[in-house]
Structure 1
Amino acid sequence: MQSNDARLLLHAAVPTLAIGVIAVAVSAAVAGGAGALGAVVGTALVLLVMGAGLAVLQYAAKNLPQLFQMMGLLLYTLQILLVGVFLLAFKGTTLFDTKAFAFTLLGATLVWIAAQTHGHMKAKILYVDPDSAEAKAAETAGSPT
């Protein structure tokens, strides 16, 4: 993982984790232990799904740049499906408070997206590799043979 990738992950994960901690405290106060557990599960799900998605997108950008946009669209679809499968699997659970889980899931997802967007806007990522342009210029500047 490049330093830009790690920085983007950190800029998205830290605010999401902070919101998760706040959600756990609020859920514990409102719904007790089950609410706190629901908030923990919601935060963990967002960090896992969105973090894995960011890692896959960074891999695609580095190794398969021609497929980057398609991979992004496919990845977001898969993320929604994974969360949907999780919701269906734990639809009638009594392990945790589902309302605390749902609100935490929604809030953490929105915070992740906002933080990731902010991180991308502030990152100074070159879209042209200056080394390859210099190598190409040196290659064409030689004597004709």
Structure 2
Amino acid sequence: MQSNDARTLLQCAVPTAVSGIIAVAAALVLAGGKGGIGAAVGTLLAGGVMAMGLIVLQRTAKHLPHLFQSMGLVLFMTQFLLVAVFLAVFKHTTLFDTKAFAFALLAAVLVWIAAQTRAHMKAKVLYVDPESGDAQKPAPAGSPS
């Protein structure tokens, strides 16, 4: 993983973890122990799915840049389906409070997206390969090239 990719991952994971801690604390106060567990599970699910997506997209951009845009769309659908499967499996669970889970999941995803947007806007990544200065100079008129 390149340093700018690791930096982006860190800049997304830290605010998401902070929002998760806040969500767990709020859910513990408002919904008790099961609410805290639900908020923790929601935050972990969102962070895990989003981190997996970012890592896969970064590897795709590095190894198969021509598939980058279509891979982004496939990745979005895969993330959506993973969360949908998790929701279907735990639809009627009594392990945790589903409302606290849902709010924490939503908050974590929104914080991750905002942090990822900010990280990409702040990143100083070249999108054009700079060539050496000699290669860009035109040859003088009349000289063999």
CA offsets 1:63-113 (integer angstroms, 9 cap, x no match): 100000000011011100100000000000000000000000001100000
RMSD between aligned alpha carbons? 1.8
**By how many angstroms is 1:127 displaced?**
0.8
- Name the residue aligned to 2:46: 46
Classify 1:136/1:42 alpha carbon distance in 2 versus 1 (closer, same or farther; 3 Å). farther
User: Any idea what SS the aligned residue of 1:124 has?
Assistant: coil
Matches within 5 A, 1:123-134: 123-130=123-130, 133-134=131-132
Structure 1: gaps (5+ residues): none
- Name the residue aligned to 1:86: 86
**By how many angstroms is 1:137 displaced?**
3.2
Matches within 5 A, 1:49-128: 49-128=49-128
Letter in 2 for 1:116: Q
What TM-score does the superposition give when structure 1 sets the normalisation length?
0.91
Structure 2: gaps (5+ residues): none
State how many pairs are aligned.
139
Could you say which structure has the higher helix fraction? Answer: 1
Matched, 1:12 2:38: no
User: Any idea what SS the aligned residue of 2:127 has?
Assistant: coil
